[in-house]
Amino acid sequence: MRAFVRYRRGIGAFHVAIKCFGVIALMATTVVPGLSAGSSQAVACSFPAVIPADASEQPRAEVWEENRLPAEAMACLPIGSWQPDLMIRLTAMFSWSGDLDGLLARIGNISSSKGAKYWSVTEQRWQELILDAAALDGPDESLRRQDFLPIELRSREDHYYVQYDNRSFAGVVYRLAAPEIGDDSISVATENLTEMSYFWIYGVAPGDLRSFIFIRRVAADRWSYIQIAAARLRWATTIQSVQSSLINRMATSYRHLAGIPTDREPPVRPN
């Protein structure tokens, strides 16, 4: 019986590892302990990265496991003493002729993430990732409200939202840190406030999945995109299919924000 329980827990952890990155990546705005509203520490934390030169290029992904996490990221991300065992960075370029408020509107439009798709490495097909999503008036799923307006995201206050993904029966509540907004840049951070589980099996503890997005205007209608996702997933971090699945979910987040069909061929990581 004990062996069976351990086996079931392993399956649960595997699916949770995949699902939680999918949800948090789609908003890429998780709050971490130590990241206060209006914190500027994350703004400069886009350590040297190779960004695709053109919006038509596929996003690029890099993966670091616990024994080789990049020192630059660990030093500049506002994570305090929290130690992730997996870090993934996705970089891309996208076209957008509008202003910052237009991008803030996309970030605040939580409900629009419903129906976003990702490439399932396991099943080798496009699948719906987010089944339901809503903005909240506080860290309580019962406090559903309309999507956030740009003026609200400029208020330098934290915001909250809930998402249900295709791997779970329970919603996960997230905190969206007050975005740092410059003349031509936006930086946002997020984290899970509630436990992520699959079929009621323990998966990822509150605060163990954190995401940071840095958006910069590099030309009149071109914007660079850097997303750093950090997690404490324990044994699942070294599994290649898990890493590929997480990258594909981050790609869904990028495409959703950039206004690109989330199921556009080809997937970033087909296998």
* Rounded CA separation 229/227 (Å): 6
Write the DSSP symbol of residue 260.
Answer: -
* Rounded CA separation 105/249 (Å): 21
Helices marked H in the chain: 2-27, 71-76, 100-108, 150-153, 240-258
Task: Pick the more confident residue, 198 or 129.
Answer: 129
Output the pLDDT for position 43: 42
Number of Cβ within 10 Å of residue 101's Cβ equals 15
* Rounded CA separation 179/134 (Å): 18
Q: What is the pLDDT averaged over residues 19-45? A: 43
Phi-psi label, residue 207: left if phi above 0, alpha if psi -120 to 50, beta otherwise: left
pTM across the whole model: 0.82
Tell whether the torsion through CA atoms of 123, 126, 128 and 130 is positive or negative: positive
Output the pLDDT for position 36: 39
Write the DSSP symbol of residue 114.
Answer: T
| H helix or E strand, kind and range, residue 210 | strand 209-219
Query: What confidence category does residue 51 fall into, taking pLDDT thresholds of 50, 70 and 90?
Result: confident
- Of 191, 196, 226, 23, the C-alpha closest to 116 is 23
Output the pLDDT for position 52: 86
* Rounded CA separation 87/194 (Å): 20
Beta bridge partners of 119: 126
- The 10s digit of each residue's pLDDT in 145-166 is 999 999 999 988 999 999 998 8
Output the pLDDT for position 138: 97
Number of Cβ within 10 Å of residue 238's Cβ equals 13
Asked whether the predicted pLDDT for residue 119 surpasses 70, the reply is: yes
Q: What is the SS3 string spanning 72-95?
A: HHHHHCCCCCCCCCEEEEEEEEEE
Output the pLDDT for position 148: 97
Task: Pick the more confident residue, 131 or 69.
Answer: 131
Asked whether the predicted pLDDT for residue 17 surpasses 70, the reply is: no
Asked whether the predicted pLDDT for residue 31 surpasses 50, the reply is: no
* Rounded CA separation 217/185 (Å): 6
- The 10s digit of each residue's pLDDT in 208-220 is 889 999 999 999 8
Number of Cβ within 10 Å of residue 207's Cβ equals 19
- The 10s digit of each residue's pLDDT in 85-113 is 888 999 999 999 999 999 999 999 999 99
Task: Pick the more confident residue, 245 or 9.
Answer: 245
* Rounded CA separation 166/198 (Å): 10
